[in-house]
Amino acid sequence: MQSFVSHLLAPDYDVAVAGKAGAALERLRRHRPDAIVLDLDLPDTDGHALLKRLQSNADLEGIPVMVLSGRDGSDERVTSLRLGAQDHLNKPFNPEELRERLSLLL
């Protein structure tokens, strides 16, 4: 999924990829992105836990976050939004919808 989303967005955006929360936080310390596309199912932590960390970091606050999730249900969407995500898109998703929603965030 990571490769697919990266490939999908690369023509229009400078895409940086991190497969784990620790790597993502390290990358974010070095480079502040215009937006974050966050999958909830990470190998080293829950995406909602990472979202909390992003929102509590003064250097990272204000960066729009779009959550991608294979977890079905409105509870997941509500939790993402309550934790500070600006958008939440369930998998499988329409690639054009992802691009359009990201465009609206920016």
The edge-to-edge listing of strands for the beta sheet with 87-90 is 36-39, 65-69, 87-90
- Per-residue pLDDT tens listing for the chain (106 residues): 889 999 999 999 999 999 899 999 999 989 999 999 999 988 898 899 999 999 998 888 889 999 999 887 789 999 999 999 999 999 999 999 999 999 999 9
Query: What Rg value do the Cα atoms of the chain yield, rounded?
Result: 13
User: Domain 2-105: which topology?
Assistant: Rossmann fold (3.40.50)
Q: Assess contact for 68 and 92: CB atoms under 8 A.
A: no
Residue 36 pairs in a beta bridge with 65
Q: pTM higher than 0.85 for the full model?
A: yes
Parse the chain into domains and list their residue ranges.
2-105
Token look-up 């309550």 returns 82
CA 99, CA 30: separation in Å to the nearest integer?
Answer: 25
CA 79, CA 85: separation in Å to the nearest integer?
Answer: 9
